[in-house]
């Protein structure tokens, strides 16, 4: 059986089919063009450089194509990468369907949808309930298909819904532990990242859309709430609508992290912590799963470029 990308160890020779997730044309210091690739299969993503790329190479090896690569897995500045010896497009009769290489959420869509619906039933504030239902129904298909990010965390098909469901499990416990306003917390949580269905393109070749680059998912979902209020004839000056918008706008916690305002509600502060916790643990688990026991992980960009030790001791 052929090994997947992350089943190879450092210094292993690699002869493998991979999906081109991203292909960025760049210029080296010597003035020659190269392609900065991100390759992917169901085990994860890995970067590579294709030096001295011709114009034909640049127009051939595009995001969304499946390629056959002969090369070597290396470690560069603490990060695994591929060194490409040769590369070609997959041919007819070979495994060239992009969906074969897309990593997917570890839960079925039906299971995630059931947990989301359970949470909606617990939103007893009528206005919040109507808005959440309206927006989720509007973007239902994309919500359960899209990744939660281009690369950092939950960057797989269904990652957005899986991230949301994981956060709901934490929020349910904390709501009981601290007697929180569950309708407010659940509403903000269900909507907090929903702007990513507009911000990002698709699971196979995830890029930022024009709206994503120019506006960003936080403001995009705030606009979705305003549009829902107009469609449902709900007064946006009502306190519950203002609080719901604040939950979304403040969920990154800090101005320098992209939030237009810092949390000024107990539930908004909790949402920020839950979001950060779930994203951080997802990054850690993903990296630790690819790290031999008794060694340190690669440096994790989303966690201040720190390396973490994978213990030999087990549960």
Task: Output the pLDDT for position 154.
Answer: 86
Q: Residue 205 pLDDT > 90, yes or no? A: no
Q: Does 291 fall in a domain?
A: no
Range scoring the smallest mean pLDDT among 41-45, 148-152, 184-188, 199-203: 148-152
CA nearest to 50, candidates 70, 77, 64: 70
**In this predicted model, which residue has the larger pLDDT, 152 or 180?**
180
Specify whether 132 is located in the same domain as 29: no
Binned at pLDDT 50, 70 and 90, residue 299 comes out as confident
Task: Output the pLDDT for position 231.
Answer: 97
Mean pLDDT on 43-59: 92
**Distances from the Cα of 150 to the Cα of 120, 206, 228, 261, angstroms:** 27, 6, 27, 24
Q: Does 296 fall in a domain?
A: no
Q: Residue 1 pLDDT > 60, yes or no? A: no
Number of domains within the chain: 2
Specify whether 97 is located in the same domain as 113: no
Q: Residue 279 pLDDT > 80, yes or no? A: yes
Give the strand pairing for 44-50 and 33-41. Answer: antiparallel
CATH number at residue 83: 2.40.50.140
Among 52, 82, 101, residue at a domain's last position: 101
Specify whether 114 is located in the same domain as 258: yes
What is the residue range of 38's domain? Answer: 5-101
Distance (Å, whole) CA 231 – CA 189: 22
Specify whether 15 is located in the same domain as 150: no
Chain mean pLDDT for the chain: 92
Sign of CA dihedral 206, 211, 215, 219: negative
Mean pLDDT on 195-206: 88
Specify whether 141 is located in the same domain as 197: yes
- Residues forming beta bridges with residue 310, ordered by sequence position: 295
Q: Does 292 fall in a domain?
A: no
**In this predicted model, which residue has the larger pLDDT, 298 or 174?**
174
CA nearest to 119, candidates 196, 213, 36, 186: 186
Task: Output the pLDDT for position 3.
Answer: 85
- CB count in 10 Å sphere of residue 307: 15
Task: Output the pLDDT for position 301.
Answer: 84
Query: 222-257, pLDDT tens digit by residue?
Result: 999 999 999 999 999 999 999 999 999 999 989 988
Task: Output the pLDDT for position 302.
Answer: 85
Among 101, 128, 145, residue at a domain's last position: 101
Q: Residue 270 pLDDT > 90, yes or no? A: yes
Specify whether 50 is located in the same domain as 171: no
Task: Output the pLDDT for position 298.
Answer: 85
Query: 251-269, pLDDT tens digit by residue?
Result: 998 998 889 999 999 999 9
Distance (Å, whole) CA 132 – CA 41: 34
Mean pLDDT on 4-25: 90
């Amino acid at each position: 059986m052929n090994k997947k990308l992350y089943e190879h160890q450092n210094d292993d020779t690699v002869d493998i089919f991979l999906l081109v997730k991203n292909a960025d044309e760049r210029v080296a210091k010597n003035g020659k063009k190269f392609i900065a690739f991100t390759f992917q299969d169901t085990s994860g993503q890995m970067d590579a450089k294709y030096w001295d790329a011709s114009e034909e190479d640049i127009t051939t090896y595009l995001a969304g194509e499946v390629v056959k690569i002969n090369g070597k897995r290396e470690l560069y500045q603490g990060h695994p990468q591929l060194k490409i010896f040769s590369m070609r497009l997959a041919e007819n009769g070979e495994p060239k369907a992009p969906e074969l290489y897309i990593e997917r959420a570890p839960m079925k869509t039906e299971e995630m949808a059931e947990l989301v619906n359970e949470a909606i039933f617990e939103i007893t504030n009528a206005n919040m309930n109507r808005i959440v239902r309206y927006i989720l129904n509007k973007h239902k298909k994309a919500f359960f298909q899209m990744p939660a990010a281009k690369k950092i965390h939950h960057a797989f098909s269904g990652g957005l819904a899986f991230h949301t469901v994981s956060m709901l499990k934490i929020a349910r416990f904390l709501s009981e532990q601290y007697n929180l306003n569950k309708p407010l917390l659940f509403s903000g949580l269900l909507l907090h990242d929903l702007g990513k269905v507009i911000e990002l393109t698709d699971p196979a070749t995830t890029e930022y859309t024009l709206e994503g680059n120019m506006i960003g998912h936080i403001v995009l979902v705030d606009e979705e709430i305003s549009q829902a209020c107009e469609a449902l004839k709900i007064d946006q000056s009502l306190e519950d609508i203002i609080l719901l918008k604040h939950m979304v706008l403040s969920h990154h916690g800090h101005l320098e992290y992209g939030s237009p305002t810092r949390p000024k509600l107990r539930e908004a502060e909790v949402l920020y912590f839950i979001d950060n916790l779930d994203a951080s643990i997802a990054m850690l688990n993903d990296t630790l799963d690819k790290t031999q026991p008794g060694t340190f992980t690669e440096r994790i960009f989303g966690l201040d470029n720190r390396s973490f030790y994978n213990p030999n001791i087990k549960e």
